[in-house]
């Protein structure tokens, strides 16, 4: 007879939690995303998988979410988990703005979300969020910030970060070209993000339906989000990646 076995956070002999390991495996197979911190903003490049030719769902960037005017995130992995976590981010942001009359600082938002993610690794009947998250934000105290967290709830700050499939290869490419150098301009960051995404995507050619590009900058004291359309992605590909 088969019995239902609750989701128990077992430890492996090496001291790891099995359910976290399974969640990390899910992330390692998911769409690659690259984020680069520039002197004057942040660039996000992501692969959009599974887009069918007759699909009408292309208007919004599916891996990119705006939380409030100054904070946003890019997520890969099990996207149904992502929607639940984004909803929590928006709730935390609204609550902070209501209580303090200001937008929530980026790292405070990251701390709250990562505490929630970590709690899901501790209790019977729950499982970790099978997603990796890149947090993008700007605040008066610290300027532009880029953080990343994994299913365990650990997080760290980055100048460049890659998540998803072939993330190590893409990160190695960025390390080779950016370590020891000052923060790039936004245009250089755009070029490097596309080239790093190309490394992660392998032989898959970028086009308007399978790649998402977002540029985030401050304009007139407002965080401005530019999302490239379908017709613009092939132009960027030809400009930066056609001969590489």
Domain span holding position 124 = 27-49+59-237
Could you tell me which of 5, 4, 6, 3 has the C-alpha nearest to residue 125? Answer: 6
With DSSP H G I counted as helix, E B as strand and the rest as coil, what are the percentages for the chain, rounded to 5? Answer: 35, 25, 40
Residue 147 lies in a domain: yes
Residue 242 lies in a domain: no
Residue 20 lies in a domain: no
3-state secondary structure 130-164: CEEEEEEEEECCCEEEEEEECCCCCEEECCEEEEC
Residue 54: the pLDDT is 63
Residue 22 lies in a domain: no
Could you report the average pLDDT of every consecutive run of 10 residues in the chain (244 residues)?
51 80 92 95 88 56 88 95 95 97 96 95 87 95 95 95 96 94 94 92 73 92 89 79 68
Q: What is the DSSP letter of 232?
A: T
Residue 11 lies in a domain: no
Q: For 42-97, how does the pLDDT look when each residue is reduced to its tens digit (9 = 90+)?
A: 999 999 876 566 666 554 447 999 999 999 999 999 999 999 999 999 999 999 99
* CATH number of the domain enclosing 165: 3.60.20.10
> Both ends of the chain: CA-CA distance in Å?
58
Residue 9: the pLDDT is 65
Long-range Cβ contacts of 236-240 (<8 Å, 24+ apart):
236/190, 236/194, 236/206, 237/194, 237/205, 237/206, 237/207, 237/211, 240/190, 240/191, 240/194, 240/195
The tally of domains found in the chain comes to: 1
Q: Quick one: tokens of 119?
A: 């709690």
Residue 78 lies in a domain: yes
Residue 207: the pLDDT is 64
Residue 10 lies in a domain: no
Residue 42 lies in a domain: yes
């Amino acid at each position: 007879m088969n019995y239902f076995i609750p989701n128990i956070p077992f430890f492996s002999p090496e001291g790891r939690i099995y359910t976290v390991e399974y969640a990390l495996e899910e992330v390692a197979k998911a769409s690659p995303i690259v984020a680069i911190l520039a002197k004057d903003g942040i660039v996000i490049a992501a692969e959009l998988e599974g887009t069918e030719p007759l699909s009408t769902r292309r208007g919004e960037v599916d891996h990119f979410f705006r939380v409030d005017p100054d904070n946003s995130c890019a997520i890969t992995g099990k996207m149904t988990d992502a929607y639940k976590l984004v909803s929590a981010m928006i709730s935390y942001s609204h609550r902070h703005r209501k209580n303090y009359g200001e937008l929530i600082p980026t790292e405070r938002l990251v701390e709250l979300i990562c505490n929630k993610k970590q709690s899901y690794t501790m209790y019977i009947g729950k499982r970790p969020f099978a997603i990796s998250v890149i947090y993008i934000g700007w605040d008066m105290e610290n300027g532009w910030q880029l953080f990343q967290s994994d299913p365990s709830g650990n997080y760290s700050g980055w100048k460049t970060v890659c998540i998803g499939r072939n993330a190590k290869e893409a990160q190695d490419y960025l390390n080779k070209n950016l370590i020891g150098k000052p923060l790039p301009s936004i245009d250089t960051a755009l070029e490097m993000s596309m080239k790093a995404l190309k490394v992660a995507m392998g032989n898959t050619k970028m086009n308007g339906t399978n790649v998402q590009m977002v540029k985030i900058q401050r304009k007139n004291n407002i965080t401005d989000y530019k999302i490239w359309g379908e017709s613009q992605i092939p132009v960027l590909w030809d400009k930066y990646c056609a001969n590489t």
